[in-house]
Structure 1
Amino acid sequence: MTQLIVSENPVLRVPPAAPAAAAAYFAASLAFHADVSDVAAGLRAAEPGFVVVDSRSTESWDQGHVPGAVHLPTAQIPQLAAEFLDREVPVVVYCWGPGCNGATRAAHALATLGYQVKEMLGGMEYWIREGFPYETHEGPAQQDPDPLTSPVNTDDCGC
């Protein structure tokens, strides 16, 4: 159990978890999440081993989506998931970005239906900000990477 301590330092008002508890938490987090760089790298593989699902509205999908993603709005997952997804293939789901929990709702809906699922951290916002190509209703698009969110002159952030 975490014990509250009195500290002027806001970081240490609640002390860090015990190393074993922290290791379990972070291992679990990695089982539930993937970042956009890892998803992009995985999609470049000959056999990615997963499918990407965009859980946003049609209007949002048309504005821009990950190439090769399946469009499956969250509200339609219970009715349509079996038509578009194979329960044997892991799913990586995304929505707009870190300020939106739509992907979390979609991941919950898919997990409830028996799918293996991860949430793509950063969503479409960070996909675009990191300079990965995307598709719109007008065709392919791509922006230069934002140097505040992506390494400059390399594909590897070192993490």
Structure 2
Amino acid sequence: MRKLLSLTMCLLLSVSVLAGCTQATPASGGSPAPAADRAEANISWQYKTADETKAMLDAQESVIILDSRPDDMYTKGHIPGAYHVPSYPVDTPELEQVLKDAVPNLQGDDPIVIVCKSGNKGAKRAISFLQDQGIAPERLFILEGGGDGWKIPEYTTTVNDSAIPN
């Protein structure tokens, strides 16, 4: 009896371990991951530091600064000329739709630097979503530290100057 109980316990443990190690597949048969799971996507995240981003702006390189923060954070201070798409933290279908509406303005080859609050899950979710919309992964970068980490006063404004990329 003891052997049977031990064998049953081992079998149950094995099944639960194996079930936990399998990749979840969407119920709809291939649709993208839910918004809340996007930050955990298996993506090689690319980053730009504040200094690297400032250097791109100084050199007048073609770059899209996509500020995904809510209106209140954006108006307290943002990078001049940033394209404001208030979709942070991209964790609901409604916020995904806000970002989806911006996709036609993101076509081309210019790098896109995503500014969220802290340069973590909000930006990762945005990048995962944009990749699902067909934006090339090599164009997508996270501003390291996000809006909280942007400490360059000469490149911070409170003027509502959201620019739609050409």
Name the TM-score, length of structure 2 as normaliser.
Answer: 0.56
**Aligned-partner Cα distance in 2 for 1:64–1:86:** 26
**SS at structure 1 position matched to 2:80:** coil
CA contact (8 A) 1:87 1:114 kept: no
Match of 1:32 among 46, 57, 61: 46
Decide which structure has greater strand share: 1
What's the CA shift for 1:109? 1.5
Match of 2:80 among 40, 46, 67: 67
The share of aligned pairs that are identical, in percent, is: 26
Corresponding residue for residue 147 of structure 2? 124
Corresponding residue for residue 126 of structure 2? 106
CA contact (8 A) 1:72 1:81 kept: no
**Aligned-partner Cα distance in 2 for 1:78–1:138:** 22
Q: CA RMSD in A?
A: 2.4
Greater RCO structure (CA 8 Å; 6+ sep): 2
Name the TM-score, length of structure 1 as normaliser.
Answer: 0.58
Corresponding residue for residue 111 of structure 2? 90
**Aligned-partner Cα distance in 2 for 1:112–1:120:** 20
CA contact (8 A) 1:52 1:93 kept: yes
Decide which structure has greater helix share: 2
Match of 1:57 among 70, 82, 86: 70
Corresponding residue for residue 23 of structure 2? none
CA contact (8 A) 1:64 1:135 kept: yes
What's the CA shift for 1:131? 4.3
- Structure 2 gap segments, 5+ residues each: 1-42, 88-94, 162-166
Aligned length: 107
Runs of 4+ deviating beyond 6 Å: none
What's the CA shift for 1:137? 4.4
- Which of the two has higher C-alpha Rg? 2
